[in-house]
Amino acid sequence: MTYDSSNIFAKILRGEIPCHKVYEDSDAICFMDVMPQGPGHALIVPKAPSRNMLDADPAVLAKLLPLIQKITKASKAAFGADGITVMQFNEPAGGQTVFHLHYHVIPRFDGVPLKSHSGKMEDPAILAANAEKLRAALA
Ligand code: AMP
């Protein structure tokens, strides 16, 4: 399978559609998932084009992991979480629905199950407030 630049995260990276942005540098962007599996669910997307981990440049992955750790720590602090789930899916059989590499960072709370994947659209005001909390924790 080859990379298709018409995917929704490529459009966000090109500024063609909006997102609730948390963080951006020359290599990656972080924004809120619009159908969160828990409050504060964020996505980390490298700018380099690849479908997923199967075709990603190892150098891109090596640069990304420290950012994933940074957002994971900020997320725990921002949302007072008991733990954090970091997830990543590869190809439809692996659960992937958007075909530009990304990592999910989801605050978790004792005894609270994850909501369904790509489930219900969140209120934009809540997404904006959660993006602000995460930005503040990163500052
Ligand atoms: P997956 O490819 O299965 O790892 O997940 C893609 C994720 O992207 C899902 O959790 C969706 O809720 C999320 N998503 C889809 N479209 C958007 C969008 N425009 N902005 C933010 N998140 C999105």
Would you say residue 94 lies in a domain?
A: yes
The separation between the first and the last C-alpha atoms of the chain, rounded to the nearest angstrom, is: 38
118 pLDDT tier (thresholds 50, 70, 90): confident
29, 43, 58, 64, 107 from 33: Cα distances, Å = 12, 6, 25, 18, 12
Distance CA 84, CA 28 (A): 20
**pLDDT > 70 fraction of the chain, expressed in percent and rounded:** 100
From the candidates 100, 102, 104, 117, which is the catalytic residue? Answer: 102
Count of the separate structural domains present in the chain: 1
* pLDDT of the residue at 119: 81
* pLDDT of the residue at 89: 98
Average the pLDDT over each of 65-69, 114-118, 122-126 and give the range with the smallest value: 114-118
Vertex 59: Cα angle to 72 and 23 (nearest 5): 35
The arithmetic mean of pLDDT across residues 86-111, rounded, is 98
134 pLDDT tier (thresholds 50, 70, 90): very high
1 pLDDT tier (thresholds 50, 70, 90): confident
Nearest CA to ligand 1 atom 9: 118
What CATH code is carried by the domain that includes residue 86?
3.30.428.10
Task: Domain of residue 31: give its range.
Answer: 8-138
Would you say residue 3 lies in a domain?
A: no
Please say if 20 is a catalytic residue: no
Q: Is 86 in the pocket of ligand 1 (CB under 6 A)?
A: no
- What is the residue-averaged pLDDT of the chain? 97
Would you say residue 29 lies in a domain?
A: yes
pTM: 0.97
Q: Is 97 in the pocket of ligand 1 (CB under 6 A)?
A: yes
Residue 64 pairs in a beta bridge with none
